[in-house]
Structure formats: structure tokens, C-alpha cells
Amino acid sequence: MRLKGKVAIVTGGGRGLGKGIAMKLAEEGARVVVADMAPADEAVAEMREKGGTAVSFQVNVSKQEEVKAMVQFAIDTYGTFDIMVNNAGINRDGMLHKMSKENWDTVIAVDLTGTFYGTQEAVNYMRSKNYGRIINISSGSWLGNIGQANYAAAKAGVIGLTKTAARENARKGITCNAICPGFIETDMTLKLKDVNDGAAWDSMMQRIPMGYAGKPEDVGNMVAFLASDDASYVTSEVLNVGGGMIV
């Protein structure tokens, strides 16, 4: 129970990685706002069944006013707010020479601007209490990945944003770190099983030194560590959770 007494917001917490993260934070004793564009009631019910404390909140992270309302909701509901996990993200893959401006803008709006809104809103509150933990979910794709110019640019931007927020707020008791998941089994990646009768999935497994896809709880474990006092001297870092895939 390393997070007893703490309040966390996890965006995109209704399914996939975000759900794994939210479940782990609740298991460690945090009270969690599961914030998602889609209704997150099922995830919340599952967390409560396991003894956790959680509520859902509907948000589109690409809308600044909604992100402000989300942070205010956490403070109104639980009296404080300590841990911000900017996890919500989407992809619209395609080769750069064919990428539409719309697919570029959509991914930047959610993955990068949404993380900016969440980080800024968190910092604004956390500075007033000289404590906070911000964890931004980037991706191993930030290093460049065929078919993901929009996503790679957004995720690289998240790292620059994270490192800047970390340095600007280090003396205010706020840490800010990024996690780069490699290939984790969620709706976002399971689509690959339908490509070329599963051949695309199999070839991805060959690229992972451990030979298998990660699980949302693998990322949840890293988030819980960064949110805990065990990581109080860790800031401005980029931590890979990729079974050896990200080099």
C-alpha cells in the first residue's frame, strides 16, 4: 500500500494500459479518478470489487476546459490531488507520403496537446502544495517508426514536455517522468492479429527479445513505482517497459 492517502487521475483509464495502471494504483491504496472519453464504469466497478476506491469521469483530453474540469473534479471528490498519469492516446498510422493533415492533427491534438493540458493543469495545482507526481505515457515509437510519423512526433514531444516540466518544478517537490511502453497487449495492438492472417503479429513477437507482448500491469508496476516515495529522487527520466525491444 505505497500510495495510501494519495489521489490519482489516470486518463484513458477505461481500458488497455490505462486500466492496468488505474488498477495497480488502486491496489497500492490510491483513490483513483478513471478519466476517459468512453464511459469507464466497468473499469471502476472492477476496481471496487477488488477493494479499491475509484470514480469515473468523462473527458476528452484534447479539450482544455474538460481537462481543467477533470482536475477540479478530483479535488472536489477526494479533497486533494497528487498523481497525474497522462495516458490517453490514439494512433492513425500511415506512411508519411500518404498521411493526411487531418490524421496528423488528430494524433497531435490527443497525444501531445492532451498531455500538455494534463501536465499544465497538474503542475498548477501541485505547485500550490509543493508535492506531486506526473507520469506521461510516451512510446518506444518516439525514436521513429515506419508508418507513425504523427504518433512518433507526438510521443517525442511528450518527452521534451516531460523533461521541461521536471526541471521547472523540481524545487516544488514535483517529479515528472515519462514511460515508453514497447508492445503491450491492448485493443490498440491486438488489431495487428488481423493483418496478414497473424503474420504481422508473429513478426512483431520476433522483434521483442523476451519473445512476447507485455501486459498493461507491466506498465502499471512502473507507474506505481514512479508515483511512490521509492522514486522521490527520480525525475526527468524516460523509462522503457518493452521486454528489451527499445534500444
Active site residues: 151
| Residue from 6, 16, 25, 218 in contact with ligand NAD (CB under 6 A) | 16
CB of 138 closer than 8 Å to CB of 179: yes
Which of 136, 235 has the CB closer to ligand NAD?
136
Task: State the nearest-atom distance from the C-beta of 88 to ligand NAD, in Å.
Answer: 4
Residue where the block lists cell 507491466: 218
Per the rule left: phi > 0, alpha: psi between -120 and 50, beta: everything else, 244 is left
Is residue 15 close enough to count as binding ligand NAD by CB under 6 A?
Answer: yes
Task: State the nearest-atom distance from the C-beta of 45 to ligand NAD, in Å.
Answer: 15
Is residue 137 close enough to count as binding ligand NAD by CB under 6 A?
Answer: yes
Task: State the nearest-atom distance from the C-beta of 244 to ligand NAD, in Å.
Answer: 14
The number of residues that bind ligand NAD (CB under 6 A) is: 29
Q: Is 58 exposed, middle or buried (0-12, 13-18, 19+ CB in 10 A)?
A: middle
Task: State the nearest-atom distance from the C-beta of 102 to ligand NAD, in Å.
Answer: 15
**CA distances in angstroms from 243 to 98, 165, 190, 240, listed in the order given:** 32, 28, 17, 9
- What count of other Cβ atoms lies within 10 Å of the Cβ of residue 110? 22
Please state at what angle helix 41-49 crosses helix 16-27, rounded to 10 degrees: 30
Is residue 243 close enough to count as binding ligand NAD by CB under 6 A?
Answer: no
Is residue 11 close enough to count as binding ligand NAD by CB under 6 A?
Answer: yes
Pairing of the two strands 7-11 and 83-86: parallel
**CA distances in angstroms from 30 to 20, 22, 126, 161, listed in the order given:** 14, 9, 17, 25
| Residue from 159, 188, 208, 238 in contact with ligand NAD (CB under 6 A) | 188
Which range touches ligand NAD (CB under 6 A), out of 13-21, 98-106, 120-128, 159-167?
13-21
Which of 162, 186 has the CB closer to ligand NAD?
186
Which range touches ligand NAD (CB under 6 A), out of 26-34, 59-67, 124-132, 170-178?
59-67
In what helix (H) or strand (E) does residue 7 lie, and over which residues does it extend? strand 7-11
Is residue 184 close enough to count as binding ligand NAD by CB under 6 A?
Answer: yes
Binding site for ligand NAD (CB under 6 A): 11-12, 14-18, 36-38, 59-62, 87-90, 110, 114, 137, 139, 181, 183-184, 186-189
